[in-house]
Amino acid sequence: MTAVTAARATGQALERAEAAGLNATLAWSNTALEAEAARVDSMPVPGPLHRLPVAIKDNICTAEQPTTCGSKLLEGYHSPYSATVVDRLRAAGAMVACKTNLDEFGMGSSTEHSAFGRVKHPLAPERVPGGSSGGSAVLVAVGAVPMALGSDTGGSVRQPAAFCGVVGVKPTYGRVSRYGLVAFGSSLDCVSVFGKTVSDAESLLWAVAGHDWRDATSVDRPIPDRAPARTTLEGVTIGVPVEYFPADLDAGIGAGCQAVIARMRELGARVVQVLLPHTRYAVPTYYIVAPAEAASNLARFDGGRYGARRGPHADIAALYQGTRGHGFGAEVRRRILTGTYVLSAGYAEAYYVKAQSVRARIAADFTAVFAGGVDCLFTPTTPTPAFAAGDKIQDPVAMYLADIFVCPASLAGIPALSLPIGRTKGLPIGGQLMAPMFEEASMLGIAKLLERSLDGSAEVVR
Amino acid sequence: MSVSAEAVLRLAQLAELAVADAELPALTAQLDRIVTFVAQLATVPNPSEHAAGPPEPAPVALRPDVVRPAGLARDISAFAPEVVDGFFVVPRLGAMDGS
Amino acid sequence: MSWEMVIGLEVHLQLGTRSKMFCGCPTTFGNPPNTNVCPVCLGLPGTLPVPNESAVRLGTRAALALGCTVHRRSRFARKHYFYPDLPKGYQITQYDRPLATGGAVVIDSPERGAIEIPIDRLHLEEDAGKSLHDRLPGKTLVDLNRAGVPLAEIVSAPVLRSPAEARAYLTALKQLLTWIEVSECSMEKGSLRVDANISLRPLGAARLGTRTEIKNLNSFSNVERALVAESARQQAILDGGGAVTQVSLTFNADTGQVRAMREKEASRDYRYFPDPDLPPLLLDEAWVAACRAELPELPAARRARLISEFGLSPYDAGVVNGERRVADYFEAVVGAGADPKTAANWVSGEAMIGFNATGTFAVSAAQLAQLIGMVRDGVVSHQAARQVYAELGPAAGEPRQVAERLGLLQIRDTVALERWVTEVLGAHPAEVERFRGGETKLLGFFTGQVMKRSQGQADPQRIQPILVAKLRGE
């Protein structure tokens, strides 16, 4: 097989996904795919991702395709440079398959907030695939690509991975360069990966990870070896935080998680209950920190130097207000206003500064648990399976609470992943592992064993 | 109500976002709901003096002073809405006139 | 009522780096618009800032020279406002944790003499681009070549009491900053810019009045003129029983008037917060100590030493010490054997004329020392030495050769001198008689005649003893 053959197969798969009305893809073309194939075939030495098609969330800049961030404001915008992660995956021999649909600028948990229409769940089209990296999750779920890049700011890879039944890995903050990822919440944003299997996700993660001098928050640490295949969990302590199993947890998800916990015990793990007492403050903390940073990061979209100008612009104020007022969608505008509020004079102390202090406490909860001998934490990824489109669109706070189990790891900067652990009423369930800073390799090793020991596509019996 | 319509308009002006009159009531209600939700952090006690803070983040790495511009694959005229003689062009400043 | 002025200055100094503050673009001045730009300083989506080591080092150097405490930990913050030449919608600056605080500059106040002006803080930040409002009707043109150029902002305490004192402060500050080679300090090129805050209060009152800020002053004399104009404007308001409103002003150098800038009411809420793209800036003590060790002797210390070590007058020391390269040159001339006071005269005279015109010294310190020695030894006259100096340059050769080529060497050969003296006395018997009759002032006449006969080459110092001996001896 040549890369050209692989490219054709990918093109057909993307066409099928389009034909099914999933709306997961943004820019792509068979011509571009063939050019990628020719490039890969001409590489003198095959890289670790040789000939693998990779889908890329459309908030990651590519010089070859448009980069829209799912926003009208950037419709038609061609970035004059590519993100570090794109350069790296191409250097590793991968082919850029397509750009994928997303909640505008990564803000959302359902991929309903895209200027280019909502993405549909692959198993239940009236439901959402999760978000904000919904397009990437869906393309991996339907097998159009074996792996995809997303971005996880407060769960935007793990939550759609759980909804779609694929693997989603958020590395330690700083492990992967953010250069070229259009910023949403800079202190939280992590370029993250989807894979059909843990091993696929791992391959992509380590191909794009590593220090990048262009990102002052990227960490200069060696990339670990791929996780060895474990056969037991002997000597491994798994912490199960009680706060992640509330009374109103979806029953199917609760049962699925209990089954995993039982399986981990059988595999030799010591499973202990732990406390992460500040968990309940994670969502409000996140919805101060992330909008504050978002309001700042999105200030550059003023219609002056790039992007589509909107509305009348008799003077500069009209240009700014029209471009931003009409170019940004409803959710982005809410977050900008919220972020402006929490940073404005007279409120910053009570909101932004306070949130930073609570964020430190959330991180300290994790540090204490890991210092107490826990190797990895296990929780459900989401409180419910994929919800119906339109369910939460009118109530932003209800939408925010969909991220209740995923945003704590984002606030703490620790690595976390979601893997399929079964289904309830036909919808996938995700189980989440969270590990100490830079312990991705041990987390991935545990995930691989669980993946082999569980049937992620099996209906969980209550 | 912790967020008034006037407050929303002031925020919109700070953030340079046009808000239509028709959408103001709904937007105000949503922002009020969001602000009320995040305001629950006020109930978290402030850490005592002795409480261990988060670990010191790694210091920023400095870049050697070398002229090495990041590449622009396309000229600014390829992405800018309006360019004249190499300048970006925007409407006159109007109310923001500082000259 | 008598009013007292309270003036504080914010100086924006372009740090002399090769590349910009947060990206690798060059900092050169005067290039075509938007040619020194990259995705980072254009603020394109997805780009990130990485601080320039030289900018941090030069900022630290300036802070140390100002006697500031350089903080082991500082951090960058975002200051938000919308303006066409601010690409990201925020400026990266330092806010609650500046690089340095608490220094001082000694200035020569016209009213109060030598006084110390405290420096509140020095922080690092990036420059904005340039907006042109008058090139196209109804449009603003934006050039981002300057966007992201590194600046240090130096904020004085509000303790200056007059426009002249403000100017003296700027003069002292510029001397120091040029001296330590952190910036070109050129107001013409915009590498030194000044914002001035001013308020008035009743003489003797402790409470500060409402202040106004005059933005972007582009010369020291305009700082002085603008402050004179604004203090007069405020005084007229206060004398009339009115209240000054806090406002930003611009100064029109043509009319000599200040004018309020039109601002949106909300635009003062800058919503500062720590830049999440930039971890804290940590400077270890050894690094700061190395910066301190690299500092040259500072102007105040050097001026004192020029007085004590070389016996210069305070005035001469001030002139010679005006710029570090001039003082270096002076010391090199003295080091090569010249008498310090004579050297100071030469350096502040002939040498300075050339230095001010070209920025360099055409004559090496060793050559000038030789020339000074030749005057001392009577080899050339002082007048002749000035001619020699004018001819000297890198290619002109040694001073003695130049003097010889120009025929300026003084003749000190006794036989030759005696012959000229004899000839002169022989030619003027009447004058000889008058001299011998007591008209001794004719000595000058005879000396002149000998000089004339020698075509200016005789050493006048040596002619006189011979003349006197011959006139008396006959």
Question: Which two tokens mark B71?
Answer: 């590449």
Question: Please, are residues C42 and A305 in contact by the beta-carbon 8 Å criterion?
Answer: yes
User: Which residues lie across from A149 on neighbouring strands?
Assistant: A56, A193
Question: Whole-angstrom Cα distance, residue C273 to residue C279?
Answer: 13
Question: Whole-angstrom Cα distance, residue C25 to residue C31?
Answer: 12
Three-state SS string over C347-415 comes to: HHHHHHHHHHHHCCCCCCHHHHHHHHHHHHCCCCCHHHHHHHHHHCCCCCCCHHHHHHHCCCCCECCHH
Choose among A302, A321, A396: nearest Cβ to B34: A396
Burial of C191 (0-12, 13-18, 19+ CB in 10 A): buried
Q: Do A337 and B40 touch (CB under 8 A)?
A: no
- Please report the DSSP string for A185-237 in residue order: STTT-EEEEEESSHHHHHHHHHHHBS--TT-TTS---PPPPPPP--S--TT-E
Question: Please, are residues A77 and A99 in contact by the beta-carbon 8 Å criterion?
Answer: no
Per-residue pLDDT at C272: 97
Inform me whether the C-beta atom of residue C90 falls under 8 Å from chain A C-beta atoms. Answer: yes
Residue A338: which residues within 8 A CB-CB, separation 6 or more? Answer: A287, A288, A291, A295, B31, B34, B35, B38
Per-residue pLDDT at A360: 95
Closest Cα in chain A to B53: A360
Q: Mean pLDDT for each consecutive 10-residue tract of chain A (462 residues)? A: 89 97 96 95 94 97 96 95 98 97 98 98 97 98 98 98 98 98 98 98 98 96 88 97 96 96 98 97 97 98 93 88 95 98 95 96 96 98 97 92 96 98 96 98 97 90 54
Question: Which two tokens mark A402?
Answer: 């969909």
Choose among C18, C82, C142: nearest Cβ to B67: C18
**Residue whose entry in the numeric block shows the structure tokens 């001045």:** C29
Q: Say how far residue B93 (Cα) sits from the centre of its chain.
A: 20
Q: Nearest CA to A271 among A374, A372, A379?
A: A374
Question: Whole-angstrom Cα distance, residue A454 to residue A456?
Answer: 6
Residue C459: which residues within 8 A CB-CB, separation 6 or more? Answer: C378, C381, C410, C411, C412, C417
- Partners of C266 on chain B (C-beta within 8 Å) are 10, 13-14
Min Cα separation A289/chain B (Å): 10
SS3 category, C317? helix
Q: Is the pLDDT of residue B95 over 60?
A: no
Inform me whether the C-beta atom of residue A438 falls under 8 Å from chain B C-beta atoms. Answer: no
Burial of B69 (0-12, 13-18, 19+ CB in 10 A): middle
Question: Whole-angstrom Cα distance, residue A177 to residue A194?
Answer: 17
Choose among C24, C50, C264: nearest Cβ to B67: C24
Per-residue pLDDT at C264: 60
Residues in chain C: 474
Amino acid at B65: D
Min Cα separation C96/chain B (Å): 17
A12-16 CB contacts, 8 Å cutoff, 24+ apart: A13/A142, A13/A143, A13/A144, A13/A145, A14/A97, A14/A98, A14/A139, A14/A144, A16/A142, A16/A144
Question: Whole-angstrom Cα distance, residue A176 to residue C51?
Answer: 19
Inform me whether the C-beta atom of residue A398 falls under 8 Å from chain B C-beta atoms. Answer: no
SS3 category, A261? helix
Work out how many CB contacts closer than 8 A connect A with C. 102
Q: Do A317 and B16 touch (CB under 8 A)?
A: yes
B50 pLDDT band (50/70/90 cuts)?
A: low
Closest Cα in chain A to C88: A300
Inform me whether the C-beta atom of residue B18 falls under 8 Å from chain C C-beta atoms. Answer: no
φ/ψ of C5, rounded to 5, equals -85, 140
Task: Per-residue pLDDT tens, chain C, 474 aa: give them.
Answer: 799 999 999 999 999 999 999 999 999 989 999 999 999 999 999 999 999 999 999 999 999 999 999 999 999 999 999 999 999 999 999 999 999 999 999 999 999 999 999 999 999 999 999 999 989 999 999 999 999 999 999 999 999 999 999 999 999 999 999 999 999 999 888 999 999 999 999 998 999 999 999 999 989 999 999 999 999 999 999 999 999 999 999 999 999 999 998 766 555 799 999 999 999 999 999 999 999 999 999 999 999 999 999 999 999 999 999 889 999 999 999 999 999 999 999 999 989 988 988 888 989 999 999 999 988 887 888 888 888 898 887 677 888 888 888 877 877 777 888 888 888 988 999 988 898 888 888 888 998 888 888 877 788 888 888 888 888 875
Inform me whether the C-beta atom of residue C46 falls under 8 Å from chain A C-beta atoms. Answer: yes
Instruction: Provide ipTM, 2 decimals.
Output: 0.96
Closest Cα in chain C to A353: C273
Burial of C113 (0-12, 13-18, 19+ CB in 10 A): exposed
Per-residue pLDDT at B99: 38
Count other C-beta atoms under 10 Å from residue C436's C-beta: 13
- Partners of C47 on chain A (C-beta within 8 Å) are 179-180
Choose among A219, A341, A396: nearest Cβ to B30: A396
Q: Which of C124, C132, C140 to mutate to test the interface with B (most CBs of B within 10 A)?
A: C140
Distances (CA, A) of A14 to A8, A71, A114, C362, C400: 10, 22, 19, 75, 90
- Partners of B41 on chain A (C-beta within 8 Å) are 281, 284-285, 288, 351, 354-355, 358
User: Which residues lie across from A209 on neighbouring strands?
Assistant: A176
Min Cα separation C168/chain B (Å): 28
Strand A167-170 relative to strand A416-424, pairing: antiparallel
* Torsion on CA atoms C349, C354, C358, C363, rounded to nearest 10: -110
Inform me whether the C-beta atom of residue C96 falls under 8 Å from chain A C-beta atoms. Answer: no
Work out how many CB contacts closer than 8 A connect B with C. 136
Query: For B8-31, how does the pLDDT look when each residue is reduced to its tens digit (9 = 90+)?
Result: 999 999 999 999 999 999 999 999
Element (H or E) spanning C331, and its range?
Answer: helix C324-335
Q: Which of C22, C42, C144, C273 to mutate to test the interface with A (most CBs of A within 10 A)?
A: C273
Task: Report the catalytic residues of A.
Answer: 57, 132, 156
Three-state SS string over A113-149 comes to: CCCCCCCCCCCCCCECCCCCCHHHHHHHHCCCCCEEE
Q: Do C50 and A216 touch (CB under 8 A)?
A: yes
Question: What's this model's pTM, rounded to 2 decimal places?
Answer: 0.92
Q: Nearest CA to A302 among A310, A293, A294?
A: A310
Question: Please, are residues A125 and A119 in contact by the beta-carbon 8 Å criterion?
Answer: no
- Partners of A74 on chain C (C-beta within 8 Å) are 45
Element (H or E) spanning C282, and its range?
Answer: strand C281-282
Choose among A328, A354, A363: nearest Cβ to B41: A354
Q: Which of B4, B11, B17, B83 to mutate to test the interface with A (most CBs of A within 10 A)?
A: B17
Q: Do C264 and B13 touch (CB under 8 A)?
A: yes
- Partners of B7 on chain A (C-beta within 8 Å) are 341
Per-residue pLDDT at C61: 98
